[in-house]
Structure 1
Amino acid sequence: MIFEVWAPRATSIELSLPDSRRPLRRRDNGWWSVEAPEAGHGTDYRYFVDGEGPYPDPRSRRQPEGIFGPSRVYDHARFTWSDHEWKGRDLRGSIIYELHVGAFTAEGTFTAALDRLDHLVELGVDFVELMPVAPVPGGRNWGYDGVDLYAVNETYGGPDGLKELVDGCHRAGLGVILDVVYNHLGPSGNFLHPFGPYFAGYAGSFWGEAVNLDGPDSDEVRRYFIDNAVQWLRDYHIDGLRLDAVHALHDRRAVHLLAELAAEVDALACSVGRPLTLIAESDLNDPRMITPLEAGASA
């Protein structure tokens, strides 16, 4: 398989596998890559940046040993879905149940939550909104200081566990919304700094350092978050995303990140043939947040 990582200001990148280390070759636009034929689904790996590390992959799909452990190759195609008849549902007028995986059951896992879906259906719930599931320091917390944003908290059940829960929700007629945090990352276990200018260099809010959405090299930073959103909707069959505190997204470019993201999600909805929804939490009282792009919204 081919390993790829974005590190525009690095002078050397090395891939660390269980039995070997090998250098990556620099490509265009700050990307590096190397082929490792012996690696595949389940292989653990890390990166060394300019001799420092090891660090997890910024786009790690799995962190089986937590935020300070190695990344693990995860092949989305290996999961077998059973929600082929799911056509999605309209969010408008729906009842949303906000669910913290760690607190919803005594076990605090995706698997345990499956056993209580009938209860939610009986309550009249239409959508389950999962609080953030990205890896965090320790076993459980609210989820708003997550890191390794492409991975799923192993304490809850990892990527397969999340897929099983979404699959079960769809079989029960429930849509699924995922709470995601793109305005900052948690301070502990955040290893994006060595790879590139993911952050703007100033405090964006009292939660943490602002994400670099409009500075030098921000194209790939924006891509990092947009690709992350697309992953949840495409690879995990999530029906919508609740975007945390979008007023803390500092973006002065002509096309705001939210507008760019909305356009990509609309295109994906057409591709998968079901409605996909973005919900923005904002304290700006700005009507552009709910104005369709075709009506002139810039954000």
Structure 2
Amino acid sequence: MQFEVWAPQAGRVTLHCGGVTSALVRDPLRAGWWTGEAEADDGTRYGFAVDDGPVLPDPRSGRQPDGPDGPSAVVDHDRHAWRTQWAGRGLTDAVLYELHVGTYTREGTLDAAAERLGHLAELGVTHVELMPLCPFPGRHGWGYEGVSLWAVHEPYGGPEALKRFVDRAHALGLGVVLDVVHNHLGPSGNHLPAFGPYFTETHHTPWGAAVNLDAPGSDEVRAFLIGSALSWLRDYRIDGLRLDAVHALRDTRAMHFLEELSSAVDALAADVGRPLFLIAESDLGDPRVITPRAEHGLGLHAQWNDDFHHALHTALTGESQGYYEDFARAPLTALAKTLAGGFFHDGTYSTFRGRRHGRPLDRTRVSAHRLLGYAQTHDQVGNRALGDRLSASLSPGLLACAATLVLTAPFTPMLFMGEEWAAGTPWQFFTDHTDPELADAVRRGRRREFAAHGWAEEDVPDPQDPATRDRSCLDWSERQREPHARVLAWYRELIALRRDQPDLADPDLEDVKVAHDEDARWLAYRRGDVRVAVNFGKEPARVPLGITSTRVLAAWEPVPPPDGDGVLSLPGESCVVLTQE
């Protein structure tokens, strides 16, 4: 078997494979690469030593059976026998469901999560979006400190478990999306600097030196990241990737890394004959992220829309701290703007940033399905001091309002695990760092962050305490109890309605007409013949629909028909979806 590694500054590189040590030789055709052969098959342990350094795992390791600091293991992807013939599933008409493997079940494994996929198929979602799976130190964590970008966290089950999960999802008609992190690695267990210039001091990010996308040596670093992305899509039959914090990818080259990546993914999609897609997490407010490359954009297929989340969150909760400040001044006005225009910050002044931010979407050219809309995500829940979900403070009626807006808006909807039954469990920030100094620094940093906002240190959960993770695991027995069962039935009804009503699948933002009353706390919008009305207030609201002949498609509380003037009387903290007769 042939082994290879990129180590451009090395004087010598040795391969340690299956108990045998051998020297690699420079590749005469590829500068900086070293190659050699050794006896090995699936599961054989190996590693590389650069000059006089220790034996380290392969930067392109497909498996780390003993964790990020242990030897790599050979993975033969051709050995897996796929059971499901899968034609793929794109983002059109999609409903996504964000899932963290380590807390979706108490067991915290891919196999245990696969056993619960039937619930999602019954719910009506189309894609499961998995939070990052790359290896990280310890057993439990969010996954955003992963290393070995080609491997699967061993406590989750490793490579074979991910393939079984994907196979099971596809058998149920569910696509699979994987969250990947290209903007930083580690810090613990990150051995890439020993091999080459994977990072650069040219730019800095919140995690330190930036991943090297534009400095000397960046050609190979970009190829490393793109190769990892294509491996998930090809070798594991993943349908799409969610790219974490693309605004932290510092790149000054004429062809941006994201453009190069989207081109490679589109080429692979053509090669394998099934749709593949990229979803960005971006706070840039820049339509070019989701504009096709042929129109001088970066060519990503969709992005998370935090503007919609922030407007909806402030309308539901009245919170105004941090980035909610800009939305909280007139939350229903902000919500109406995002429903019809996609972005709230489209060149407007952002108090949180102290400057203007964003630019307008061209509603005549940008399909609304390229924006993901949501009421909760891992970030928006887990980055709160107590990891409290909306269900911790809102009535079932307001939770129903949130679900209605997410699932009838023009955007591609996304749910966060447990949201569909108003889970009573929190989802908190937890880690399992094996380095005591790093563990203590994370603990102190977390508490210091929230102390600045008035929290007592003892009230902020310790990320390293195993109980913090345990509290965050879903309680599946809640689904059979009230009010959880009623909320779950409402989500099922809305998802089925979105599937059955063509007007709700229309991605044309220009066809969305919104009205609202900031003081009376109601908002209504029209999508074709479908009308949606939401009352955030406790008192009944009179909502002028402008039509008198309607048919109720779904209602949280019973509503009478509109009166002779086309005015609907909507109960407090309630919502309704109607169609014109």
Band the TM-score falls in, shorter-chain normalisation: over 0.9
Query: How far 1:201 moved relative to its partner?
Result: 2.2
Distance of 1:194 and 1:68 partners within structure 2: 13
Q: Quote the residue 2:31 is aligned against.
A: 29
Q: Quote the residue 2:223 is aligned against.
A: 223
Query: How far 1:167 moved relative to its partner?
Result: 0.6
Name structure 2 gaps, 5 residues minimum: 300-581
Query: How far 1:209 moved relative to its partner?
Result: 2.6
- Alignment partner of 1:48 is 2:49: yes
Q: Quote the residue 1:95 is aligned against.
A: 95
Q: Quote the residue 1:248 is aligned against.
A: 248
Q: Quote the residue 1:81 is aligned against.
A: 82
1:84-105 Cα shifts (integer Å, max 9, x gaps): 2x11122133111101001011
Q: Is the 8 A contact 1:246 1:282 kept in 2?
A: yes
Q: Larger Cα Rg: Structure 1 or Structure 2?
A: 2
- Alignment partner of 1:60 is 2:43: no
Structure 1 residues 115 and 298, CA, compared in 2 at 3 Å: closer, same or farther?
Answer: closer
Indicate the SS of the match to 1:34. strand
Distance of 2:286 and 2:258 partners within structure 1: 13
After TM superposition, list the pairs within 5 Å mapping 1:112-151 onto structure 2: 112-151=112-151
Indicate the SS of the match to 2:278. strand
1:144-185 Cα shifts (integer Å, max 9, x gaps): 000011110010000000000001000000000000000010
1:5-26 Cα shifts (integer Å, max 9, x gaps): 0000110100112322111001
Structure 1 segments, 4+ long, off by >3 Å, are: none
Distance of 1:57 and 1:235 partners within structure 2: 18
Q: Which amino acid counterpart does residue 253 of structure 2 have in structure 1? A: R
Q: Which amino acid counterpart does residue 266 of structure 1 have in structure 2? A: D
Q: Quote the residue 2:271 is aligned against.
A: 271
Q: Which amino acid counterpart does residue 15 of structure 1 have in structure 2? A: L
Q: Is the 8 A contact 1:186 1:208 kept in 2?
A: no
**Structure 1 or 2: more helix by fraction:** 2
How many corresponding residue pairs? Answer: 297
Distance of 2:204 and 2:98 partners within structure 1: 27
Which TM-score applies when normalising by structure 2?
Answer: 0.50
Q: Which amino acid counterpart does residue 116 of structure 1 have in structure 2? A: R
Distance of 1:274 and 1:55 partners within structure 2: 37
After TM superposition, list the pairs within 5 Å mapping 1:174-193 onto structure 2: 174-193=174-193
Query: How far 1:202 moved relative to its partner?
Result: 5.5
Q: Quote the residue 1:297 is aligned against.
A: 297
Indicate the SS of the match to 1:4. strand
Q: Quote the residue 1:9 is aligned against.
A: 9
Q: Which amino acid counterpart does residue 35 of structure 2 have in structure 1? A: S
Distance of 1:237 and 1:17 partners within structure 2: 29
Q: Which amino acid counterpart does residue 32 of structure 1 have in structure 2? A: W
Indicate the SS of the match to 1:168. helix
Q: Quote the residue 1:170 is aligned against.
A: 170
Q: Which amino acid counterpart does residue 73 of structure 2 have in structure 1? A: R
Distance of 1:90 and 1:43 partners within structure 2: 37
Distance of 1:208 and 1:81 partners within structure 2: 41
Name structure 1 gaps, 5 residues minimum: none
Q: Is the 8 A contact 2:18 2:40 kept in 1?
A: no
Indicate the SS of the match to 2:193. coil
**Backbone CA RMSD of aligned residues:** 1.1
Distance of 1:124 and 1:207 partners within structure 2: 38
Q: Quote the residue 1:19 is aligned against.
A: 19
Q: Is the 8 A contact 2:134 2:143 kept in 1?
A: yes
Distance of 2:44 and 2:54 partners within structure 1: 18
Q: Is the 8 A contact 2:290 2:298 kept in 1?
A: no
Distance of 1:10 and 1:201 partners within structure 2: 20
Distance of 1:19 and 1:135 partners within structure 2: 24
Q: Which amino acid counterpart does residue 18 of structure 1 have in structure 2? A: G
Distance of 1:13 and 1:201 partners within structure 2: 25
Distance of 1:137 and 1:279 partners within structure 2: 27
Distance of 1:148 and 1:182 partners within structure 2: 11
Q: Which amino acid counterpart does residue 52 of structure 1 have in structure 2? A: G
Q: Is the 8 A contact 2:292 2:298 kept in 1?
A: no
Q: Is the 8 A contact 2:12 2:50 kept in 1?
A: yes
Q: Is the 8 A contact 1:233 1:239 kept in 2?
A: yes
Identity fraction in percent: 59
Indicate the SS of the match to 1:288. helix
Distance of 1:130 and 1:208 partners within structure 2: 26
RCO higher in structure (CA 8 A, sep ≥6): 1
Query: How far 1:292 moved relative to its partner?
Result: 0.5
Q: Is the 8 A contact 2:200 2:210 kept in 1?
A: yes
Q: Is the 8 A contact 1:187 1:208 kept in 2?
A: no
Distance of 2:126 and 2:170 partners within structure 1: 10
